[in-house]
A and B are shown apart, each in its own frame.
Chain A
């Protein structure tokens, strides 16, 4: 009987969240779907008409479309790779005894507190600029040619900037997980003569699996929507080298003011995101059940 009660209560407690999110999902989605079947340019509101599937066809045949999907995935994958690997490495390091650990930790988590547009502006003009960026200064001091980051490696540069913002998040979560690793277990493994590598592979990594999964899931959601950094740095160029799906939608929505086209793009993006999420769940989701 107690369980019956609890179950009813549990549903009641869950209801507000589910209800709110349901509304929050359905209303914009329904409106976006509706607009995606309309010829609707914001700058020409008198000319709204039924478009059928034309907006989808138009968005899909955009010369930048396939590259933008590829770039979207590259950004997600690249940033995940850097933040997860880097996050584990830094977490392992921070877990060791050292002097000034508090200050070190503060410095490492700080990038997470910086607003994305500020981060992009700082990186673009003060760090990576081939004329007066710090990296160019370093290159010149070493007698090398400064690298023109945004022309030669546009996507990579953006991945670096975004990864810088997300590295602290991954590090923090992984560090917390690492610190919860049983000290006795660690010592026992050390006593057994297990080297650093085997301890890491057989003890630490399995222990971290769940946190890594969470990092990947949450970051993926945010990374699929990256566009502010692109807008500030390369504007999607040169060519379409740094155009990802959100940027393509931005160009349609806020430069072309083509509400119909942008809505179709938004629906396509949602479908793609769900495909990514599906594979992601199959790949790493089992870790969540532990």
Chain B
């Protein structure tokens, strides 16, 4: 009987939904903290727009990417707004799959968007195809106390040589301290994000101007050799299955002297509710090797409207709301300045309240500004993207190469073998895709 009541209950609820004449937007989003917070704050939006209802689909990053890509490519029409990364935007815009955001409103102030972020979302026609919700670069987070104990001082702009030296000096495995924690888990958005960005600092690149893979060049060998040796000497156990979250947990538990990863991590490691080392964290720019490029990446989660939706107007209203300065203010009022989505607007970094709440703000801004997706490597490249190559083939390719490099890290394959195989699979894939004639 209970079940019956229950079923009847839903049926009537469903009917009511059917008869309501509000426009319903289905929004696909990734399950990161800033997005979840946005879900909680949407009353503000629906109060201002009573004729629009919001339907959230929150998914883990990999599943989300799979779902929205399948849907947009097959024109499934399941979503009105999609949360997508900097990697997807140029590829999809080129296919004509995204609606240009021309009507974000007079007070949107698109010029306030950080130039590095904005340029990644702008199509060849100069129009904005996605609006950034939050942005990030990568930098060094380090333990001030351990650095001091090792008798060293972290410069604002360290070199890899210094980082490696410091990591080895800080390591004290009996005390559970690893000098440095870096990503090792295979995946284009996992170890390859870090390694591709780092390779830039070592003068390496994925492809030369003719799309010939470059894994057979000495720069890649230097990069991978350096990485594997450093991790063997000063990295944590099980590094080859560590991604962002695993390293975050290690750092928060006080097991890492340094960690080079996304700038958004700073708000987690400096949060005393989560982190045991909250008051001991310092920040520095991603290291270089004196060749003129730092290994700091650039990423943003953006809101975009798939072409073909009937509700583009309402969707654009929502996007304007969620990525506006007013939304920033709303979060600050309700949840405090430390929880404001970072990395998209210059005005945020001019705000004294934010500076006070987020000690890592300046370093984040400097890192984002220093990233140059159009010229990521020391040598010229035919592609866009710092920690990825913005071509459709990269997800599969990056994951395969990531598997090989994680085997090198785990000691199951030599660095030379890993690079030779990476060169082979990349050549194969690029030939097939028609880049190499």
Whether the complex brings A and B within 8 Å at their CB atoms is answered yes
Using a CB–CB cutoff of 8 Å, the interface residues on chain A facing chain B are 41-46, 58, 61, 63-64, 124, 129-132, 146, 148, 150-152, 231, 233-241, 243, 251-252, 254-258
Residue with the greatest number of chain B CB neighbours at <10 A, chosen from A43, A64, A130, A233: A43
Measured in the bound complex, the distance between the Cα atoms of B91 and A151 in whole Å is 34
A10 to chain B, nearest CB (A): 36
Indicate if the CB atoms of B396 and A44 lie closer than 8 Å.
Answer: no
Indicate if the CB atoms of A43 and B403 lie closer than 8 Å.
Answer: no
Chain B residues positioned under 8 Å from A44 (CB to CB): 95, 392
Indicate if the CB atoms of A58 and B399 lie closer than 8 Å.
Answer: no
Chain B residues positioned under 8 Å from A148 (CB to CB): 237-238, 240-241, 410
Out of A132, A241, A258, name the residue touching B396 (CB < 8 Å).
A258
Out of A130, A240, A251, A255, name the residue touching B238 (CB < 8 Å).
A130
Indicate if the CB atoms of A45 and B73 lie closer than 8 Å.
Answer: yes
What 5 pairs between A and B have smallest CB-CB spacing?
A256-B396, A239-B407, A130-B238, A238-B407, A43-B392
Indicate if the CB atoms of B238 and A256 lie closer than 8 Å.
Answer: no
Indicate if the CB atoms of A42 and B188 lie closer than 8 Å.
Answer: no
Indicate if the CB atoms of B73 and A238 lie closer than 8 Å.
Answer: no
Indicate if the CB atoms of B188 and A255 lie closer than 8 Å.
Answer: yes
B 288-331 contacts with A by CB, 8 A: none
Indicate if the CB atoms of A238 and B406 lie closer than 8 Å.
Answer: yes
Indicate if the CB atoms of B73 and A235 lie closer than 8 Å.
Answer: no
At the interface, is chain A mostly helix, strand, loop or mixed?
Answer: loop
Indicate if the CB atoms of A63 and B424 lie closer than 8 Å.
Answer: yes
Chain B residues positioned under 8 Å from A236 (CB to CB): 186, 399, 403
Assess whether B425 is interfacial by the CB under 8 Å rule.
yes
Q: A235-B399, A238-B412, A256-B393 are in contact. Are A42 and B404 (CB under 8 A)?
A: no
A265 to chain B, nearest CB (A): 12
Assess whether B400 is interfacial by the CB under 8 Å rule.
yes
Measured in the bound complex, the distance between the Cα atoms of B253 and A252 in whole Å is 37
B234 to chain A, nearest CB (A): 15
Interface string of B363-407 (1 = CB under 8 A from A): 000000000000000000000000000001101110110111011
Could you list 25 A-B pairs, sorted by A, with CB under 8 Å? A41-B392, A42-B69, A43-B69, A43-B95, A43-B392, A46-B95, A131-B250, A131-B255, A132-B249, A148-B238, A148-B241, A148-B410, A235-B187, A236-B399, A237-B404, A237-B407, A238-B186, A238-B240, A238-B403, A238-B408, A238-B409, A238-B412, A243-B403, A255-B188, A257-B395
Indicate if the CB atoms of B402 and A237 lie closer than 8 Å.
Answer: yes
Interface string of B152-171 (1 = CB under 8 A from A): 00000000000000000000
Indicate if the CB atoms of B186 and A234 lie closer than 8 Å.
Answer: yes
Chain A residues positioned under 8 Å from B395 (CB to CB): 255-257
Indicate if the CB atoms of A233 and B396 lie closer than 8 Å.
Answer: no
Chain B residues positioned under 8 Å from A58 (CB to CB): 432
Task: For A124, give the chain B residue with the smallest CB separation.
Answer: B241
Task: For A43, give the chain B residue with the smallest CB separation.
Answer: B392
Indicate if the CB atoms of B392 and A151 lie closer than 8 Å.
Answer: no
B27 to chain A, nearest CB (A): 22
Measured in the bound complex, the distance between the Cα atoms of B412 and A128 in whole Å is 19
Indicate if the CB atoms of B425 and A235 lie closer than 8 Å.
Answer: no
A18 to chain B, nearest CB (A): 31
Measured in the bound complex, the distance between the Cα atoms of B91 and A234 in whole Å is 28
Indicate if the CB atoms of B396 and A43 lie closer than 8 Å.
Answer: no
Indicate if the CB atoms of B186 and A63 lie closer than 8 Å.
Answer: no
Assess whether B66 is interfacial by the CB under 8 Å rule.
yes
Q: A129-B238, A234-B241 are in contact. Are A152 and B410 (CB under 8 A)?
A: yes
Chain A residues positioned under 8 Å from B239 (CB to CB): 151
Indicate if the CB atoms of B69 and A235 lie closer than 8 Å.
Answer: no
Indicate if the CB atoms of A251 and B410 lie closer than 8 Å.
Answer: no
Chain B residues positioned under 8 Å from A151 (CB to CB): 238-241, 410, 412
